[in-house]
Amino acid sequence: MTILAQIEVLEALAAVDAELKDLNDALTVEREGLQSKQTLLSSLDERFERGKKSVEEMEKMRNDLVGEVRQMGLQVERSREKLSRCRTEREANAGQRELEELRKLYRDREQEIERIETLISQARDESGKVSTDRERISGELGASEGDIKGRLSVSEKALAEKTAIRNELVPRLPAPLYRRYEMIRKRKGSAIAHTSSGTCSACHMQLQPMLFQKLLRSEAFDQCPSCNRILYFRPLAPGEVEDPESA
Residue 247: per-residue pLDDT: 38
Please give the average per-residue pLDDT across 20-29, as a whole number.
92
* Average pLDDT for the chain: 90
Greater confidence (218 vs 227) lies with 227
Question: How far does CA 55 lie from the centroid of its chain?
Answer: 31
**What DSSP assignment string belongs to 101-153?**
HHHHHHHHHHHHHHHHHHHHHHHHHHHHHHHHHHHHHHHHHHHHHHHHHHHHH
For 223-232, the pLDDT digits (tens) are 999 999 999 9
pLDDT computed for residue 140 by the predictor: 83
Average pLDDT over residues 132-154: 87
Which band of pLDDT confidence, cut at 50, 70 and 90, is reported for residue 238? low
User: What pLDDT, on a 0 to 100 scale, did the predictor assign at position 90?
Assistant: 87
Higher pLDDT, residue 84 or 231: 231
The average pLDDT across 199-218 equals: 93
What single string gives the DSSP state of each residue in 142-190? HHHHHHHHHHHHHHHHHHHHHHHHHHHHGGGS-HHHHHHHHHHHHHHS-
At residue 242 the predicted structure's pLDDT band, cuts being 50, 70 and 90, is low
CA distance linking residue 152 with residue 28, whole number of Å:
10
- CB 113, CB 66: distance < 8 Å: yes
Taking the model in full, what pTM does it have? 0.65
pLDDT confidence of residue 243: 54
Q: How confident is the model at residue 83 (pLDDT cuts 50, 70, 90)?
A: confident
Q: What percent of the chain is predicted at pLDDT more than 90?
A: 68
Q: According to the model, what pLDDT value does residue 241 have? A: 57
Domains of the chain: 19-171 (1.10.287.1490), 174-233 (no CATH)
